[in-house]
Amino acid sequence: MTEALPPWYQGTGRKLLFVTGTRADYGKLEPLARAAQVAGYVIGFFITGMHMMSRYGETKLEVKRFAGADFFEFVNQREGDPQDFILAKTVMGFSDFVHEHRPDLVIVHGDRVEALAASIVCAMKYIPSAHIEGGEVSGTIDESIRHCNTKLCAAHFVSCEAARARVLALGEDPQRIHAIGSPELDAHARPTGVTLDEVRRYYEIPSADFGIAVFHPVTSEAGTMQAQAESLFGRLEASGKCFVVIAPNNDPGTEGIFSVLQRLPPQRFRLIPSMRFSYFSELMRHAAVMVGNSSAGVREAPFLGLPSLDVGSRQHRRAAAPSITAVSAFDTEAIDHFLAHAWGRRFAPDHSFGTGHAAEAFVQVLAQPAFWDRSLQKAFGGGEGACTTSAKGEKR
C-alpha cells in the first residue's frame, strides 16, 4: 500500500474513509462525502473493484476528481476471478491498509463483495463502520451480502421506512438506524451543470430520441443470462428505436451479456463502458424510457418521472412506483407493448426513496455526540432473554 503516513491522516478532524468498488456505489457515496467534507470531516476513498479495470472505463478517474480528498487504490481482481476469491483478496488488502492507517469511520454501501470485505475487517478490528442502504431486497446472493453487512456494521443509514423495518427485524438497535433517503437522489434533485448537447458530444450519442438500457448479470442465473440478453435486446433491436447501452457489471454471467451487446448495430446502440454521474443524470432526464435491471430503473428513474421496464428478478420486490413495468426477459409481447406505449411518457416524481436531502441528514447524524460514543459491542434487539428448555428437552 503506502509506506509513509499520507497528509490525509495528519489532520485534526475526524477521518472518514469511503470504500468504493463500482461506479454505482460511488454515485451513492459521493454526495455523503461531499457534505461531510463541507462539515469539516477529513475525507478519503479506498478505491478497488471495477474502478480499477479498463474494460469498465477505469472509473477510478471519476472518483479522483473529488477535490480535497486522498485516494488509496487496491487491485482486488483480474478478469474472470470468482467472487469468493475477490472477497478473500479484498479482506487481506483492506486489513493491511487499516493496520497502517486507522480511520475514525469506514463507510460502505450496499451488497458488493468489496463492502462485505471492509465490513468483516472493521468488525474484527473494532473500527466503527456505517452501512448505506441496508435492509433492502434484491434477491440472490446480493441480498444475503447486504444483510451480512447490516449485522457487521455499527451504524445504518437506510433509504426508507420499509428498509428500516427490515434492519430492525435483523435485531439491530433502533438507535443505530437512521432513515435518510437514497443518497444518489441528492444529485438528481439538483442541476447537473451540463447540457444534453454536451453529453451527446462527449459520448458520441447520435440520436436525440433515445432510451437507456442497462442489463446486469444475476449471479444465481448466470447460465441463462445470455439467453435473457438475447431475448431483451432482440426486442429492442426490432423496435427500430435508438438506445444508449451502459455496460454490465463484472458478476458471473457478464460474458454472455457482452457477447449479445457486441453484435448490436452500432448506429442505433451506443455502448458505453461507464459514464460520469452528472452526465448520466442529464441523460436520464432526457431519455424516452429506461430498460433493464439496474437499481437506477427502480429508484432514480421513478424519482425523475422516467418510465422504466424492470426486466427479470434482479430488482424483484424492491420498488412499486407507477412508472415501473416489471416483465420477464422472455415476455416479448410485454416488452414490445412497453416500448410502443411508454416511449416518451412522463410520470409524477416518486419520493419513495427520499426527496434529495440524504447527505444533509447524514451529516446531522454524524454531528450527534451519541453517534461516536456508542459501543461497538452490539446486542441482538427485539427478543431479549436466554433460551429456556422444556421438560422434554426442547428449546423454546
pLDDT on residue 311:
98
pTM of the predicted model, to two decimals?
0.89
The chain-wide mean pLDDT, for the chain, equals: 92
Query: Is 125 inside a domain boundary?
Result: yes
Torsion of CA 171, 176, 182, 184, to 10 degrees: -130
pLDDT on residue 142:
87
pLDDT on residue 389:
57
Pair 271, 307 in one domain: yes
Pair 29, 165 in one domain: yes
| Mean local confidence (pLDDT), 72-81 | 94
Pair 139, 262 in one domain: no
Sheet with 15-20: strands ordered across? 70-73, 42-47, 15-20, 105-109, 129-132, 155-158, 177-179
Query: Is 384 inside a domain boundary?
Result: no
What amino acid is encoded at 134 in this protein? G
169: domain CATH number is 3.40.50.2000
Lowest mean pLDDT among 45-49, 62-66, 76-80, 115-119: 76-80
Pair 222, 251 in one domain: yes
Pair 62, 89 in one domain: yes
pLDDT on residue 387:
59
Pair 82, 168 in one domain: yes
Q: Considering only CA atoms, which of 148, 171, 146 is closest in space to residue 159?
A: 146
Pair 206, 318 in one domain: yes
Pair 103, 56 in one domain: yes
pLDDT on residue 317:
84
Pair 20, 157 in one domain: yes
Residue 217: domain span = 196-341
Identify whether the C-beta of residue 133 lies closer than 8 Å to the C-beta of residue 182. yes
Pair 54, 16 in one domain: yes
Domain count, the chain: 2
The percentage of the chain sitting over the pLDDT mark of 70, rounded to a whole number, equals 93
Query: Is 383 inside a domain boundary?
Result: no
Which residues, including other chains, have CB under 8 Å from residue 137's CB and lie 6 or more apart?
A: 143, 166, 316, 317, 318
Q: Could you tell me the three cell numbers for 263?
A: 453484435
Is the pLDDT at 315 greater than 60, yes or no?
yes
Pair 88, 181 in one domain: yes
pLDDT on residue 8:
43
309: β partners: 291, 325
Query: Is 391 inside a domain boundary?
Result: no
Pair 360, 335 in one domain: no
